[in-house]
Amino acid sequence: MSDCAVFLDRDGTINEDPGYLGEPSSVKLFPGAAKALSILKSKLNCKLIVISNQSGIARGIITRQMVDKVNEKINELLLAEQTSIDAFYYCPYHPDYNSEEECECRKPSPKLVFKAANDFQIDLSKSYFIGDSSSDIICGFNAGLKTVLVRTGYETESISILQKQNKIPTFVAENLVQACKFIIKDFSGEN
């Protein structure tokens, strides 16, 4: 196991989060996100893997097919910068609609990170998690990853939750571009 990975939340981290994103035509990447991910992937030679909760499926608001189409659209947009997400993992369940066992894949559980690590032979000690909410950062902690909280989502609420749980992110970034710059420096030992 030598491959590193950057695990990413999707909505609110890579792209704008309108809530239960099901329409590919509504996908809007954050400014600079595609270029930042392209540089990150080429400099570190790492996998880019999305880990997301998609409870809109359990709620009956969106379907798995819609989520898959949105994921395809994200990769289509990333191709403009000659990059792509290597794999998308998502949990379609929610405790209000599904069993506790089904919901074991929901962040902050690290279950999907461990599955991806196994699927791609990823060394988690060399890997990172970027997200916009406390569940992303706690998921990263639970998987033994360095974590970066981006301020493009639920940052204020998340910082409060994380402080109460004494799970402070490795770095807090304004956006995905700054997060990627931090990881490149940190990976090379410049931080």
Residue positions annotated with a catalytic role: 9, 11
Would you call 5 exposed, middle or buried from its count of C-beta atoms within 10 A (0-12, 13-18, 19+)? buried
CB 122 within 8 A of CB 1: yes
Question: What is the sign of the dihedral through the CA atoms of 100, 106, 107 and 110?
Answer: positive
Q: Tell me how far apart the alpha carbons of residues 90 and 87 are, in angstroms, rounded to a whole number.
A: 10
Residue with tokens 């998340």: 158
Which helix (DSSP H) or strand (DSSP E) does residue 33 occupy? helix 33-44
